[in-house]
Amino acid sequence: MNKLKILCTILAFGLLSAMCRAQSFTIASSLTTSAFGALNIEASGAISGKVSLHLPLMWAPFRFKENIKLKIFALQPGARWWFWHVYSGFFAGTYATYARFNAGIYSFRHDGYATGISVCTGYTRMLTRRWNIEIELGGGLFYTNYDLFVNELCGEYLNTISAVRLAPSKANISFVYIL
C-alpha cells in the first residue's frame, strides 16, 4: 500500500511540474458554434513546445417556442500535437466528448446524452502576438442514449434509443487569444 502512495505522489508531482512549465495559455471562442446560437469557450494550456491540453465547453439553454427547444451542454477535453510549435501551424489531436441534450425541432424531441472519442485536425494562423485564427475539423465514434418524444407540450413518450454512431464532432472557425 505504501508503494502505491509513493507512486501516486510521484505521478502527481510529475503532472504538476509539467503543467507549471506551460509556455502559455489561451482562451478561444468558436464562430461556427456561436452562429448556431450556442455559448462556447475553450481554455487551453501548452505543456511542451509541441503539446497542448484543451477544454472546450458549449452551452445552449434555449427554448424558442413551446415545441421548439435546443438545450445542450457539451464538454470535450482533449490534447493536440503541433507539427511546428504550439499554437501555430498544423495540428492533430484527440478528445473525449460528453454531451447532455434535450432538443426538439420538427416532429420529435430527443432527451438524452452522448459520449465518445474523436480525432481532429486543423490549422492555426498567427494574426498578431496575442491573436490567432483557427480552423478545426473532427469526427469520431459516439455512444448515444436518448428518449424519443412527440414534439409538443407534454408530448407522448415513443421509445428509448441506444446506438453507436460514427459522426462529425467539430467544424470550428475560432478566434484565439493567447495569454
- Segment 79-112, tens digit of pLDDT: 999 999 999 999 999 999 999 999 887 889 899 9
- What structural domains does the chain harbor? 2-178 (2.40.160.20)
Query: Are 50 and 86 a contacting pair, CB within 8 Å?
Result: yes
pLDDT at 53 exceeding the cut of 90: yes
E strands, 37-156, where? 39-46, 51-65, 68-75, 78-82, 89-104, 108-126, 131-150
Supply the pTM of this predicted model.
Answer: 0.79
What whole-number distance in Å separates Cα of residue 146 and Cα of residue 162?
7
